[in-house]
Amino acid sequence: MVNMDLSQPPFTLLDDSGRERVARGVDLLYFSRDEIVLDAGQPGEFVYIIHKGEIAELDPYAPSDRVRIAHYTAGDLFGAISILKGTSRYRFKVEQESLCYAMPKLLFEHLCDDYPTFADFFQRRLAQKTRLLAERRAKSGVNMAGFMLARVSACMRAPLIVDAATTIAAAVNRLNESHADSLLVVNNGRFGVVTKTDLLNALVMEGATQARPVVTIAHFELVSAGPDQYLFEALVQMTRHQVARVVVVERDLPVGVVELTDVLSYFSSRSYMVSLELEQADDLDALAHASERLPELVQTLMAQGIKLHFVMDLLAALNGRIVDKAYQFLIDPRYRAQSCLLVMGSEGRGEQILKTDQDNALIVADDSDWPDRAMAMQRFTETLYTLGYPPCPGNIMVSNPAWVDSESGWRRTVSRWVERRDGASLMNLAIMLDARGVAGDTRLLDRLREYLFDSCSHDELLLSYLARAALHFAAPLTLFGTLKKPRHGIDIKKGGIFPIVHGVRTLALECRINETSTLARLEALAGQGRLEVDFAADLGEALALFIELRLKQQLTQLDGRQNSDEPNLVVVQSLSSLERDLLRQALHIVKDFQQRLTHRFHLEY
């Protein structure tokens, strides 16, 4: 009877009869302001589920700035841990008069006995909880509708048209050049289709020569569709005629081809399509077009609940390809071999998901001779801008001569930074540590990094200077108290992402780890025994969670649903209770990590 919302975890882990037992077994309780629901040291008698109101979890023994542990609002559940542990560790105080459902201890224990997954929920670690969230998101299948409503024109590729005189050999060449599976032959104003299978059959089964005109093996009965038809209609057509492609016809002229693989990859994530388009791009316009589609791809991948780790890897690879291609289009091969283009910052770490500022630099071989280098680099920066990478506000770009240097010049620069150890030098060192080579001769970068490690990894003083920055922003756990201001959010970049990334970077420098992505560095650190495997995994999950939260805000911004232009501020009230719980745990891990850094690099004073 009691209208309790049992559609949220952990109640989704019960079956109908379990939920029925919950609904029958709970009482309703009212608490007025400042009342204490459960005090520290008291035995837990009930699991409380808040229907309305706000309740704070406080640590009565902590110093006053760290008193606040958590904040619960409508839909949240608390008190379960107190029952499992026997007594409550913290004090639960009412912040705003609250109506709670109270589930008696006995019922809770019975439920835990009868439903092991329900019991597990309360003992899970952070990594497992994140998986739960991802699973739930995947189940909702957000983007199915997008597929059902997609039109043929969204998925077709330009047709490859050859004239009737083309030979089989020429046709095969054309197919290979443009990574296509089929081409259209025009013969007296009629169009026929030739597929790779047709070519194979003609050559092998019929023993045709390579000089035979391709028109003799074309099929002139086309399976066609209009560009405005729904994509699934095209799919139905293919299934009905047992072919793997349809020709898109508009006003009796073929305007495109839809391949079965395209439809399926469109359905699965479109990732294949985008990377294909990227590979096929043979001028800057085509590249720009492909790069425009990346945000959409991210959106689809996230909606399908793909683990963020893999999305980041994919995006890093795709972004790297875009920069590499742009470099290829603009720079003469001779110069390319003498230089190495680096991407740095989040892009270097492969943690940039939507496009951020361009952070790049260039190492040139000592013996290179490149007269109009500055001009070329200026043009390159401008090109990246047209591809959708905004210029770096700190001017860390190849158009800035300070970030273009010869190999020995870079070594001198690094030594100068190491000697000076002031704020700007440390920042530049940190940026350089994240550098990843995307184009040209990457051995140049490997040698420079070796040099960097040689000059830094034993310099305890430098390491502790570097590590100090990771403590600069405290984990915003105490900020939970100011949630009542509706516009106020917590800055997860300062409070979560930066401490992890920078701390891990410092440790990586100390241990001479060549990887640039934070997750890979964590793995390597755990492999070397520098961090415990569990802790490294938790840090990775925490980082993924922060990035995901930020990404979500950026995506809503792309949709124009949100006006705020600060994606790093997360308004905690707008999160679901599970996400809030995750965020809280993740921030605790950050805090723990900061304490370890303090300990390791002696930053107590």
Residues in contact with other proteins by CB under 8 A are: 1-3, 24-32, 51-52, 97, 99, 102, 104
SS (H, E, C) 569-595: EECHHHCCHHHHHHHHHHHHHHHHHHH
Q: Which of 101/410 has CB closer to other proteins?
A: 101
Q: Which of 51/293 has CB closer to other proteins?
A: 51
* CB 467, min distance to other proteins, A: 50
* CB 297, min distance to other proteins, A: 43
* CB 36, min distance to other proteins, A: 13
CA distance 440 to 339: 6
- The full DSSP string for 241-308 is HT-SEEEEEETTEEEEEEEHHHHHHHHHTSHHHHHHHHHH--SHHHHHHHHHTHHHHHHHHHHTT--H
Q: Which of 135, 139, 142 is nearest to 578 (CA)?
A: 135
CA distance 48 to 78: 5
* CB 27, min distance to other proteins, A: 5
* CB 53, min distance to other proteins, A: 9
Q: Which of 2/148 has CB closer to other proteins?
A: 2
CA distance 215 to 202: 12
Q: Which of 74/184 has CB closer to other proteins?
A: 74
* CB 92, min distance to other proteins, A: 16
CA distance 163 to 373: 44
Q: Which two tokens stand for residue 194?
A: 């030739």
Neighbouring-strand partners of residue 167: 213
* CB 1, min distance to other proteins, A: 5
Q: Which of 103/397 has CB closer to other proteins?
A: 103
DSSP state of 390: P
> Strands, E, within 136-280: which ranges?
161-163, 182-187, 190-195, 224-225, 245-250, 253-259
Q: Which of 27/332 has CB closer to other proteins?
A: 27
CA distance 414 to 407: 11
* CB 118, min distance to other proteins, A: 19
CA distance 259 to 236: 13
Rounded (10°) CA dihedral 424, 430, 431, 432 = 110
Q: Which of 32/574 has CB closer to other proteins?
A: 32
* CB 96, min distance to other proteins, A: 10
Q: Which of 46/380 has CB closer to other proteins?
A: 46
Q: Which of 100/475 has CB closer to other proteins?
A: 100
CA distance 243 to 596: 61
Instruction: Give the amino acid at 109.
Output: E
